[in-house]
Chains A and B, each alone.
Chain A
Amino acid sequence: MAEMENAKGSTLRYACGNVLSFFILILIGVLAFSIRLFSVIKYESVIHEFDPYFNYRVTQFLTKNGIYDFWNWFDDRTWYPLGRVIGGTVYPGLTLTAGSLWWLLNSLNIPLSVETVCVFTAPIFSAYAAWATYLLTKEVKGTGAGLTAAVLLAMVPSYISRSVAGSYDNEAVAIFALIFTFYLYIKTLNTGSLFYATLNALAYFYMVCSWGGYTFIINLIPMHVLLCIVTGRYSSRLYIAYAPLVVLGTLLAALVPVVGFNAVMTSEHFASFLVFIILHVVALVYYIKGILSPKMFKVAVTLVVAVGVVVCCAMMAVLVALVASSPTKGWSGRSLSLLDPTYASKYIPIIASVSEHQPPTWPSYFMDINVLAFLVPAGIISCFLPLSDASSFVVLYIVTSVYFSGVMVRLMLVLAPAACIMSGIALSEAFSVFTRSIKFQMPKLLDDSDPVPGDIASANSVVQSNQAKVEKHSAVDKSEGTLKERPQKKSKKKEKEPLEKASIKSQIEKKLLVLPLESSVLAILLLVLLGAFYVVHCVWAAAEAYSAPSIVLTSHNHDGLHVFDDFREAYAWLSHNTEVDDKVASWWDYGYQTTAMANRTVIVDNNTWNNTHIATVGTAMSSPEKAAWEIFNSLDVKYVLVVFGGLVGYPSDDINKFLWMVRIGGGVFPHIKEPDYLRDGQYRIDSQATPTMLNCLMYKLSYYRFVETDGKGFDRVRRTEIGKKYFKLSHFEEVFTTHHWMVRIYKLKPPKNRIRGKTKKSKSSPKTSASKKDDRVKKNPWR
């Protein structure tokens, strides 16, 4: 009778727990969405940075022209005169997601513009990512850990930095796809259901569509399978989890045009095939072991080993020879730079020049994952007690992502979910130990010696009571009664998974893991304080550090907020004052923004797929005026755009990026030698600068008429006066400079009509007297 009441009470508690979890998850979703809205509130609903502008332009094209045109789109407005095959070189996941979202909303008569949908895609998917983290951690450790991990992920600054409202980049949906794929893999591993294996393959397909980082998944999962095999955890569920994923996943990956046949031909995927073969061998071995007697099995082993080793060695030798014959051993440049951090700086200066690809500094770990940095080791330990397939996977995930985040700052993003999962596990376990101790000692404190029947909350304790003595019975009651927790400050709800094994173990554990009452209370308070610090830091990071749209800059003067909107001013000028077919040359950083906002053809853009083309532009920027004019004229360029921060102190301008122009240009055109521009090993623009530097196009275009601003030509970024102050441009004319001199646009002067005799020019800006006598033969800049 009492047992039935207890059972009813426990189902009621389970129901309450489920409803509470549901509401907590909704709140977590709202939190994840709203913490990313700071940039919309502080600035405006605008797309940030550089790459998102390209994605925005592609999405515009998709919504306007439909999916077939998008799939076959050849873009002739970038990389002039080469063009770019958009359909085959872009990861379509993000644009298709946003496009279908827009289409769905419009068909429901909610007329949101494409820009609004693009800006808010990232926060929506971060809410989904938090829910996916909950599901994943629930599979590993339980509901309490799941909720904690979800809350941590909703706020972790590293993820916020790449998914703030307006940051319309691949990672916005890719992180959700990553976590969701891992969740489905773990779910398949735990349940052995082929249905989840199918879903796993489909989620992996979504991940391949979204981001180049899918190679992380297709290498991590085989590593984990290998780990399970090696540690003796092979089971048929492992086979069901992995084998269909490889076959279906490879096929689905080959369906995406960007990946295509790389799915079977590049080294990034070979690990999965190798482990596929190994898994089949192991499965066969286990099967034969199952049907043979032990003696015969030994015979089989000796026979097979003798023959098989020879065959295997032969095959491996052939394979290794095949792979080693290609110069990069079949790996792509980006993957090699991940495995060997020094590779890029030696061989591929373009990859080395991107600031996101530099190794992170130690403070950036604390800035990006804050408190989680020292909760992670606790989580790792907690994963080992007890070790299951799922928890070994999470440990492997965190170890590999820590290594990769040490190589590139950009990959801190992959570390964030792993850190949140580990910290969620650690915090949840810690809280459960402390509250268990308090629960255990509360009745003693209140002088209540009878075991309260209402505390028998799980069916297990009924089983327990048959095995335990009376005193132990009361102890187990108290400890198993943790189903009804006091609501904590962050309103976490814990449910002990009613496993017999866990209860038996906890029976033994209770004797050791009951801490004194005061220290438990203090520890809980301190942990809550830790959480409070984390929340404060995350909100600060989201508001101050990661919400800058970088297309609009602000500064605080004594008379309030000053807004620098120079970039959009320049692009608007370009789109209104130039012909539609005019070509604009600039450094590759601004290519995407120019095509998206100014709608003009550019020479190079952020895709950086053609190193020689970028080197051409770099050479032109580093050459004297005449040679640069020749190069630009051969590319049909009409306008040149430079970014200059010397007047206002904007540090990311083209003069600071000049060293990369020289290096990349010098890498392809040997007449550009870096030492020509260096004085004492430094790039200088003051009076000590080398003559090559003072004559190069970048210097002239940046500092033309700069001395008129303050009379002395003081560059606020380099903090010196410039070297050459008074000079005129012979081959270019200035057509536009923005309000704060941040973007300067120049036009190529057409060659003179007549070279001999008096030539009357009706140009507005003064020209030098040096005439071009030798342009009867245009010098070939390519030699």
Chain B
Amino acid sequence: MAKTTAKDAQDLFRALRSAYAATPTKLKIIDLYVVFAIFTALIQVVYMGIVGSFPFNSFLSGVLSCVGTAVLAVCLRIQVNKDNKEFKDLPPERAFADFVLCNVVLHLVIMNFLG
């Protein structure tokens, strides 16, 4: 039972890796950015766990800025993805412009809240 489960898990990983390798490079760059942002957020959480959360607004704005850009990057990826039927007539420049605008608003708020 465990053997089949392990074999299944291996097959699964292989299938996932091969399927993911097929995605275009542009999307892989966005994915890398998302992973980086989440990683930064995790580092901040660990740091808060060690040092304490005294300027709580700074902690909050730092973590939420990372999570925010990650979410926005995922939205960008959704809109730019050519396999996505709903967005096939959305020009990618428009998607990127929306992404930049939302990021500008997000970072304005972050800088105000950083304290």
Which residues of A are at the interface with B, using a C-beta cutoff of 8 A? 192-195, 197-198, 201-202, 235-237, 239-240, 243-244, 247-248, 250-252, 254-255, 261, 264, 283, 288, 290-293, 296, 299-300, 302-303
Contact = CB atoms under 8 A, between A and B. Distances in A.
12 contacts: A195-B102, A236-B86, A240-B79, A247-B106, A248-B68, A254-B113, A290-B83, A291-B16, A292-B15, A299-B11, A300-B16, A303-B12
Contacts of A250: 64
B84 interface: yes
A201 B105 contact: yes
B74 A239 contact: yes
Given A244-B68, A251-B64, A236 B84 contact: yes
A247 B65 CA distance: 8
Contact of B8 (A237, A247, A251, A299): A299
Main secondary structure of the interface of B (DSSP, over half): helix
A193 B78 CA distance: 11
Interface residues of B, number: 41
Contacts of B106: 247-248, 251
Nearest to A300: B12
A255 B113 contact: yes
B71 interface: yes
B8 A198 contact: no
B9 interface: yes
Contacts of B72: 194, 244
B9 to A, nearest CB: 6
A198 B64 contact: no
A170 B56 CA distance: 29
B11 A296 contact: yes
Nearest to A240: B75
A261 B56 contact: yes
B60 to A, nearest CB: 6
Contacts of B5: 303
Main secondary structure of the interface of A (DSSP, over half): helix
Given A237-B86, A291-B16, 13 more contacts: A195-B102, A198-B105, A202-B105, A236-B86, A236-B87, A247-B64, A248-B105, A251-B60, A251-B64, A251-B109, A251-B113, A255-B112, A299-B11
Interface centre among B5, B11, B76, B105 (most CB of A within 10 A): B105
Nearest to A247: B68
A296 B15 CA distance: 7
Interface in B27-72: 56-57, 60-61, 64, 67-68, 71-72
Nearest to A193: B98
Contacts of B22: 291
Which 7 residue pairs are nearest across A and B when measured between Cβ atoms? A194-B98, A291-B19, A247-B68, A296-B15, A236-B78, A243-B71, A198-B102
Interface centre among A251, A261, A292, A300 (most CB of B within 10 A): A251
Interface string B15-26: 110011011000
A244 B75 contact: yes
Given A251-B106, A299-B11, A235 B86 contact: yes
A76 B23 CA distance: 64
B86 A247 contact: no
A254 B12 contact: no
Nearest to A202: B105
A645 B94 CA distance: 66
